[in-house]
Structure 1
């Protein structure tokens, strides 16, 4: 995979270990990192890893990734971010020793939706469709059959930061490989 597939991307909270390889962007999450705001846990965490670029207007983006999830709440996937208090993360979160399709929508306060998966998938796909005032999140374990996980209000804005996300809220870190983000604007 040519490195230019990641041109225009930049890090928010760059991990200590990451590289661009033939299979994609590989990273090892730093320990005890997360994105969360207040709800239930009464804390704010904004130190997860986010590799993004700016997108304007309506778009559809799709991401394929795989992870070696180990510890409670290990997570990876797609993130859309307006600012520190308004963002969505969607992908896999490791809970009760199994992977769950997960979406967290944050507008000052985080909320969390999960869907059971039969097993930890080797590859996982997450898709986000951004329109004027909402985002539709869908997922797939085979790249063909997508299920809607969440339709959420998301404030209209001129642009958003969009990219890959990974964090290890409770653990020492885990490895994830992300294929290039497929983006269709308009």
Structure 2
């Protein structure tokens, strides 16, 4: 996979504090920000932070990141987004003092799947493989061994938005660092 700089990326919901230094992207999430649609909570939130670029066709991508999770539902990772009602976010979500590998797939309504991690990893990797009508999500705590976390239907489309995301639904915000996104077309 080739490494990409952050050139050509843009914000959906730019956070108050962010910077790019030697290709490392860092931001602090704004308080009470999230991406979620309806299920279980009966609300729609679309104010989490997402730094993205448009990507066409089928691809494989990988994102490495680290965060200082501290409050309930602090989350960071990779987002693939078609529009406000069709998106996937995958990464770490902090729940009741436990870091969880997490995937939310939204097609009008959000669903959520999680897997407890042994500890909060110093670095975490999410890999996504976009097929014609699906996305496979893998995770790793060492950047070498990847484990399948989710295979989900995702609507066929010519292009979608891809990049890092982070949010703090219940907390005051936390700091997160992202290495440049890597990707290749399939």
TM-score interval w.r.t. the shorter chain? over 0.9
Unaligned 5+ residue runs, structure 2? none
CA distance in structure 1 between the aligned counterparts of 2:102 and 2:148, rounded to whole angstroms? 11
Check the 8 A contact 1:23/1:177 in 2, yes or no.
no
CA distance in structure 1 between the aligned counterparts of 2:12 and 2:183, rounded to whole angstroms? 20
Check the 8 A contact 1:48/1:167 in 2, yes or no.
yes
Check the 8 A contact 2:6/2:23 in 1, yes or no.
no
Q: Are residue 111 (structure 1) and residue 102 (structure 2) matched?
A: no
Give the alignment's TM-score, normalised by structure 1: 0.97
Any idea what the Cα deviations from partners look like across 1:37-60, whole Å, max 9, x if unmatched? 000000000000000000000000
CA distance in structure 2 between the aligned counterparts of 1:23 and 1:178, rounded to whole angstroms? 9
Q: Where does residue 148 of structure 2 map in the other structure?
A: 148
Q: Secondary structure at the match of 1:102?
A: strand
Q: Where does residue 76 of structure 1 map in the other structure?
A: 76
Unaligned 5+ residue runs, structure 1? none
Any idea what the Cα deviations from partners look like across 1:53-96, whole Å, max 9, x if unmatched? 00000000000000000100000000000000000000000001
Q: Are residue 174 (structure 1) and residue 182 (structure 2) matched?
A: no
CA distance in structure 1 between the aligned counterparts of 2:167 and 2:85, rounded to whole angstroms? 18
Distance apart, 1:23 and its partner CA: 6.5
Give 1:16-165 correspondences, 5 Å limit.
Answer: 16-22=16-22, 24-165=24-165
CA distance in structure 2 between the aligned counterparts of 1:37 and 1:26, rounded to whole angstroms? 26
**Aligned alpha-carbon RMSD (Å):** 0.9
CA distance in structure 2 between the aligned counterparts of 1:163 and 1:145, rounded to whole angstroms? 22
How many residues were matched structurally? 183
Any idea what the Cα deviations from partners look like across 1:109-163, whole Å, max 9, x if unmatched? 0000000100000000000000100000000000011010000000000000000
Q: Where does residue 11 of structure 1 map in the other structure?
A: 11
Distance apart, 1:185 and its partner CA: 1.3
CA distance in structure 2 between the aligned counterparts of 1:58 and 1:50, rounded to whole angstroms? 21
